Structure 1
Amino acid sequence: MTEQAEQTHQAEHTSTFAHEDDLPRVPLPALADSCARFLQWCAPLLTPEQLAETEAAVADLQRPGGPGERLHAELERFDAHPDTHSWLDTFWPYRYLGRRDRIALNANFFFLFQDVALSQTARAAELTAAAVDYKLRLDREEIPPVTQRGVPLSMEQNKYLFSATRIPGETQDTVRRPYTEEWPGHSRARHIVVFHHGRMFRMDVIGPDGVPHSPADLEAGLGAVLKAAAEPAPGGTSVGHLTTMARAEWAAARRRLLDLDPVNAATLDEVETALFCVCLEDPAPADTQETCDRLLHGDSANRWFDKAVSFVVFPDGRAGINVEHCGLDGTTVLSFVDTLLGTPAEEQARRSGARDQGLPAVGPLTFVLDDGLRADVGRAAREFADYAAATATTTLSFEDFGSTAAKQLRTSPDAFVQLAYQLAHQRAKGRLGATYESIATRQYRRGRTEAMRVVTPEIQAFTAAMDNPDATPAQRRAAFRAAAEAHVARARECQTGQAPEQHLWELELIQRRRGDELGITEQPALFRTPGWTVMRDDYLSTSSAPSRHIQYFGFGSTSSRCIGVAYVLLPDRFNLYLSTPRPVADQMHAFADHLRHAVAELRALLAQS
């Protein structure tokens, strides 16, 4: 996401999905263009020998009659099919549902909301009531489409907000959700799942006649959960732990649950069809960083990480959201959260028609477990706790810097912070490394994101100038301006669908799926070259979530040496949550220290002009 997400708003008096069929399709780049851009993008990260090897493989890929030409022709045929929404239609399921590692901490992301002076149950009740109002308005397609600079954005992802649950599979996961052939229309579910102390409860949030429960009713129901779950669940019984397993392992465990007893099928059905989850935490976190950490991974006894949306509320009233990523990107969740938190709770309850109906129907959800499944639950709990402990995190806050200050320095706010990241990384690790930035492309039909690779020759020159004792301030400013302009230009290319990585990756996937049929039995050499592997081996993975309603945004690292950089860049503040594997912790903290200095240094440098 870029700072442009700040400028989105909701157009009035238009049904939610009114624009979907009229949105332009994601452009399919020409093969030659993607090959040329790929070489430009990877070149700054390669030695001359690595670049020569990569150039030879690119030439072979796009030679007349070569594998690239045939694979691209197949992609063009797919893109031209009348049932195709986007040439990425098969890419996204593989990209998200095909991953076989754990999604907890590795894929799910979180937002920490602004603090509100409420009790745990009152805060959870307000969030629940607001989400139910949103859901009912979405059912009626009354959520106005989001626009950006007057251009409507795809609202397709909103269909994943309620009752959507990722289902583990042996080779690829699936999603159980409404708005599909298997589940036509919106969800008719009236319940949520509430967690406390590793115990699970089904709670109705909409009455039998379709009228939502009032916030007072919901608070009473949540209070009943706290009372019923005052004692933590016995070890080996909190099945939510299983959702932290690698996907094939969890698929096997889920199959054993279903085969063991019909009760388990009924319980899974309640969980998977629930509108969303509410996780009531205990005890309260010590500080903001611990709050963020627990939003990212928390006590897995108190989570169902496969659920699209889980609100997490702490005893001190702090709250946030944990999101399963397969159908939801940050921009969609930001719009959802902004709507929930941007309107007084009593107004949302009144708008939904909520009324007092007494204590909502609340009851425990239980599984029948044998010794083997109890052992699996216990092992999953221990292994995930160890995995979370092996992740180092920190928060970083700039209370005197934001997008307004960057604009006053006549530079793009996103370019400013990205260049600061590169300078800090160079100083912390002694080198530049592959850097990913997520660029939203929701202006296209079913658009999601594009993968931008940040390091350019101009950034190399900029970091070199900043640490060259012989460079003058004017030379350093000129290097900054050139690097910022190159960054903005590349971001615009990505925003218009002119980026190489996902295009080339989909060609590789076509070869895997249909290579024999197409007469391309071997993987093209490009996908084994240093250019392909080095460019995609992240040292920094970055994404932005600008919203005045959230304090921090966060996600896990993407590789054994990567620092995840999730940032909230607003006009008057700049907050970051960093994460990395424990062996890289010292470098992450050095990066944070250097980033503080880099922001101040660049502000002073640009102010001189």
Structure 2
Amino acid sequence: MFALHPPPGQQRLPTFHHQRSLPRLPVPPLRQTLDKYLKSLEPLLEEGELAGEGSKNEELQKRAAWADEFEKGIGRELQERLIDVDRASQNNWLDDNFWIKKAYHEWRAPLIVHSNWWLLFHSDTSIPANVADSPPAQGEFGEWQLRRAAWLTMRFLDFKEKVDREEIHPDSSRTGLWFNRPARSVFNLSRIPKTGCDVLSRKPALKEPGARSIMVMAKDWVYMVEVLGKDDEILRPREIEERLAEVVRDVEERVKKGEKGEAVGILSADDRDVWAKNREYLLTMSPVTNRKALTLVENCLFALCLDAYTIPAPSSSNYVPAPIEAHVRNTATSPDGLNRWYDKTLSVIVESSGRAGMMGEHSPCDALIPSIIVDYAVAEPIDVAAFTQNPTKAQTGDVIFDADTQAEPISRVWERVEWELDGKLKTEIEEAKVRAKAVVDDSEASQLWFDEYGSDWMKKTAKQSPDAYVQMALQLAFYKDQGFFSATYETASTRLFAHGRTEVIRTYSTDSRAFVRAMLDPSVSAEDRYKALSTAILSHNAFTRESSTGKGIDRHLMGLRLMLRDNEGEGVKLFTDPLFSKSQEWKLSTSGLSEGSRFHGTGFGTVWPDGYGINYLAGGELIKFGVESKYSAPNTDTQRFKQHVVDSLREMRQVCEEGAALSAKL
């Protein structure tokens, strides 16, 4: 994925070379958006007609009349207001003015599961197998844990340095357009809770407190560990490891004394308004100590969560290696939500066995950017020789733990982050623990590894686009699971535009509905099913291209609605129509990343409490799905849905093999 040097014969270009010439995100033509919106309603109305809710044609004509009325009336004025916003925006009408607020910062639900994403790192081949099989005892830290944590820290910082220096060659077909503005802004960043609407911290200068440090969380204590040298150079892995070892020794000494970490971080897992009020109280009661602590947390490079345990694999698992299920649980939330700071943009999590992953706050960037960073960070396994004073005498597992180590002395450039708490705050922490545990216990997050075929077979044999193929499998699986269709959200990236973020691909369409109906009708032949699949995939590919090239509809519709002046009594039938809301009930919320060969999996929480959140990595021979739903929802079940996905993929393979063969004979 990474090209540190240009191909032979090509000029070296700075990483963000192509970003400087990207076009502005357009405000789509009003009629274009209205026509596409009306088209997206057709499958909803077709299902409504089957359920006796009225004639599809009559209901569609009603909405078409409202659309015409809107276009000729207030819609024209809203469009011009939005164009004025665009003309006044430095980079992008959507991102400069609305997106982060409306999509993230005004949302008051806790970040844990509801908003934050997670990535599971591949196992490090340098860690001996017996460490994973027999990790340290519960409550103990591991030597390979610190080694991997130090190595990952160095690799993350190395990536940051290369991006800051623009040393990664911008392959315009992939890397250059993925490394947009957020790639520079994910470090030294934190979300700050505010009543009604959160904000992002500003990027600190390196001389400011905490800016040269990572935040290390261990048994709910917080430490700042400097990882940049006096000349801003990245410390050697051995030096980082020693500093982490000193922190662990300090934690163990505190435990021996009977001390217990005050879990202030759990406050960041709470309802955003509750956390905002508690943060204000923290600062009011101690403007010096607590202000310093929060400044350090918000300024630091990223969080490193050292967990003094390794969650054991469950006794059984469904379509995934059992250890991966435990890996999901800890990376997404930890068993109880503790030892995390959910506002940090990046949190690297390392268990006592060295198993590692990352959880992140969603608002500054989409998970694509962190996935690229992680892909780089884990591309090289731990270099054991880098952790010894004399590399020629490297010894496996020779981690510096003891004070009498023969390694050269390293200054103790780390500090405890201290808090001043009163009885009220301690009560708030205990209550936040209960609420966070309830969120954790309600989340059924799991992985599915489908290894019977992958994107290679889809392209070569089925002759289909892998992403659209997977989306059709999810449509079929959802209907089997629920017995009805749902509006479906798939993420499309608008990285082709300056400061582009995302747009919606409305996967549920007339053609995807027809495909599912064909698959469930025993009277339909394999050939006709294959034709229905091919038609649905062609339509989906067209939707994807349109959404990625500034011709999507959902961001535009949102912008138009935001132009309404409620205080002047402006209203729109099209927007108050229950079908308008139903067309955006994303009970199936999906997103695909790259092949993800260096990830064990990914995931995010469902948007609707009675829906599914699906992230997937379509590899050549293996497709990895991250599936999340709520135990409290009576109609959803993650394990059941996984089985439906497997069944759907198997049935689609049979259809492709039989249907394509029959079509070839004609």
TM-score by length of 2: 0.83
Alignment of 1:534 with 2:586, yes or no, is: no
Alignment of 1:279 with 2:305, yes or no, is: yes
3-state SS of 1:437 partner: strand
1:123-142 alignment, distance < 5 Å? 123-142=148-167
Q: Identify which of 573, 580, 588 aligns with 2:622.
A: 573
Alignment of 1:497 with 2:550, yes or no, is: yes
Range moving further from structure 2, 90-99 or 469-478 = 90-99
> For residues 382 and 10 of structure 1, what CA distance do their matches in structure 2 show?
47
Which AA in structure 1 matches 2:350? Answer: V
- Provide closer, same or farther for how the CA distance between residues 82 and 237 of structure 1 changes in structure 2, counting only shifts above 3 A: closer
> For residues 149 and 291 of structure 1, what CA distance do their matches in structure 2 show?
29
1:294-333 alignment, distance < 5 Å? 294-298=330-334, 299-333=336-370
Range moving further from structure 2, 523-532 or 449-458 = 523-532
Which AA in structure 2 matches 1:272? Answer: E
Deviations 1:387-446 (CA, angstroms, capped at 9, x unpaired): 111122222111232111111210011111111111111111111111110011212101
Tell me if the contact between 2:496 and 2:549 (Cα under 8 Å) persists in the aligned partners.
Answer: no
3-state SS of 1:431 partner: coil
- Provide closer, same or farther for how the CA distance between residues 468 and 196 of structure 1 changes in structure 2, counting only shifts above 3 A: same
3-state SS of 2:420 partner: coil
1:115, CA displacement in angstroms?
A: 0.5
Tell me if the contact between 1:165 and 1:175 (Cα under 8 Å) persists in the aligned partners.
Answer: yes
Query: Could you tell me which residue of structure 2 aligns to residue 93 of structure 1?
Result: 100
Which AA in structure 2 matches 1:159? Answer: R
3-state SS of 1:494 partner: helix
> For residues 386 and 585 of structure 1, what CA distance do their matches in structure 2 show?
19
1:120-519 alignment, distance < 5 Å? 120-145=145-170, 147-148=172-173, 152-153=177-178, 155-178=180-203, 189-230=211-252, 237-261=262-286, 262-286=288-312, 287-298=323-334, 299-343=336-380, 358-408=410-460, 409-511=462-564, 514-516=565-567
> For residues 598 and 471 of structure 1, what CA distance do their matches in structure 2 show?
16
Alignment of 1:605 with 2:655, yes or no, is: yes
Tell me if the contact between 1:218 and 1:359 (Cα under 8 Å) persists in the aligned partners.
Answer: no
3-state SS of 1:302 partner: coil
Alignment of 1:543 with 2:591, yes or no, is: yes
> For residues 372 and 606 of structure 1, what CA distance do their matches in structure 2 show?
63
3-state SS of 1:142 partner: coil
Tell me if the contact between 1:176 and 1:272 (Cα under 8 Å) persists in the aligned partners.
Answer: yes
Q: What is the alpha-carbon root mean square deviation over aligned residues?
A: 2.6
1:183, CA displacement in angstroms?
A: 6.1
Alignment of 1:71 with 2:78, yes or no, is: yes
1:45-124 alignment, distance < 5 Å? 45-46=44-45, 47=48, 49=54, 51=60, 54-62=63-71, 64=72, 66-81=73-88, 83-94=90-101, 95-116=103-124, 117-118=126-127, 119-124=144-149
Which AA in structure 2 matches 1:402? Answer: G
3-state SS of 2:492 partner: strand
> For residues 126 and 398 of structure 1, what CA distance do their matches in structure 2 show?
31
Query: Could you tell me which residue of structure 1 aligns to residue 573 of structure 2?
Result: 525
For this pair of structures, how many residues does the alignment match? 589
Which AA in structure 2 matches 1:540? Answer: L
Query: Could you tell me which residue of structure 2 aligns to residue 39 of structure 1?
Result: 38
3-state SS of 1:459 partner: helix
Unmatched 5+ stretches in structure 1:
1-6
3-state SS of 2:338 partner: helix
Which AA in structure 2 matches 1:98? Answer: E
Range moving further from structure 2, 314-323 or 134-143 = 134-143
> For residues 5 and 374 of structure 2, what CA distance do their matches in structure 1 show?
17
TM-score by length of 1: 0.91
Which AA in structure 2 matches 1:304? Answer: W
Tell me if the contact between 1:556 and 1:579 (Cα under 8 Å) persists in the aligned partners.
Answer: yes
1:228, CA displacement in angstroms?
A: 2.3
Which AA in structure 2 matches 1:456? Answer: S
Tell me if the contact between 2:117 and 2:360 (Cα under 8 Å) persists in the aligned partners.
Answer: yes
Tell me if the contact between 2:210 and 2:297 (Cα under 8 Å) persists in the aligned partners.
Answer: no
> For residues 488 and 288 of structure 1, what CA distance do their matches in structure 2 show?
32
Tell me if the contact between 1:105 and 1:555 (Cα under 8 Å) persists in the aligned partners.
Answer: yes
Deviations 1:38-68 (CA, angstroms, capped at 9, x unpaired): 1111321232546465444433322x2x221
Query: Could you tell me which residue of structure 2 aligns to residue 552 of structure 1?
Result: 601
1:131, CA displacement in angstroms?
A: 1.3
Which AA in structure 2 matches 1:22? Answer: S
1:348, CA displacement in angstroms?
A: 13
Tell me if the contact between 1:129 and 1:348 (Cα under 8 Å) persists in the aligned partners.
Answer: no
Alignment of 1:595 with 2:645, yes or no, is: yes
- Provide closer, same or farther for how the CA distance between residues 242 and 82 of structure 1 changes in structure 2, counting only shifts above 3 A: closer
1:219, CA displacement in angstroms?
A: 1.3
- Provide closer, same or farther for how the CA distance between residues 235 and 508 of structure 1 changes in structure 2, counting only shifts above 3 A: farther
Which AA in structure 2 matches 1:223? Answer: A
Tell me if the contact between 2:108 and 2:272 (Cα under 8 Å) persists in the aligned partners.
Answer: yes
**% identical equivalent positions:** 28
Tell me if the contact between 1:236 and 1:378 (Cα under 8 Å) persists in the aligned partners.
Answer: no
Deviations 1:278-305 (CA, angstroms, capped at 9, x unpaired): 0011320222112112211124331111
Considering Cα pairs closer than 8 Å and 6+ residues apart, tell me whether 1 or 2 has the greater RCO.
Answer: 1
Tell me if the contact between 1:217 and 1:359 (Cα under 8 Å) persists in the aligned partners.
Answer: no
3-state SS of 2:547 partner: helix
> For residues 581 and 86 of structure 2, what CA distance do their matches in structure 1 show?
27
Deviations 1:450-504 (CA, angstroms, capped at 9, x unpaired): 1111011111111111111111111111111111111111111111111111101
Unmatched 5+ stretches in structure 2:
7-11, 128-143, 313-322, 388-406, 661-666
1:343, CA displacement in angstroms?
A: 4.0
1:186, CA displacement in angstroms?
A: 11
Range moving further from structure 2, 188-197 or 260-269 = 188-197
Tell me if the contact between 2:605 and 2:629 (Cα under 8 Å) persists in the aligned partners.
Answer: yes
> For residues 279 and 377 of structure 1, what CA distance do their matches in structure 2 show?
19
Larger radius of gyration: 2
> For residues 260 and 391 of structure 1, what CA distance do their matches in structure 2 show?
35
1:379, CA displacement in angstroms?
A: 0.8
1:362, CA displacement in angstroms?
A: 2.1
1:138, CA displacement in angstroms?
A: 2.9
- Provide closer, same or farther for how the CA distance between residues 74 and 39 of structure 1 changes in structure 2, counting only shifts above 3 A: same
> For residues 62 and 326 of structure 2, what CA distance do their matches in structure 1 show?
46
> For residues 325 and 594 of structure 1, what CA distance do their matches in structure 2 show?
29
Tell me if the contact between 2:489 and 2:505 (Cα under 8 Å) persists in the aligned partners.
Answer: yes
> For residues 435 and 492 of structure 2, what CA distance do their matches in structure 1 show?
33
Range moving further from structure 2, 232-241 or 195-204 = 232-241
> For residues 67 and 599 of structure 2, what CA distance do their matches in structure 1 show?
44
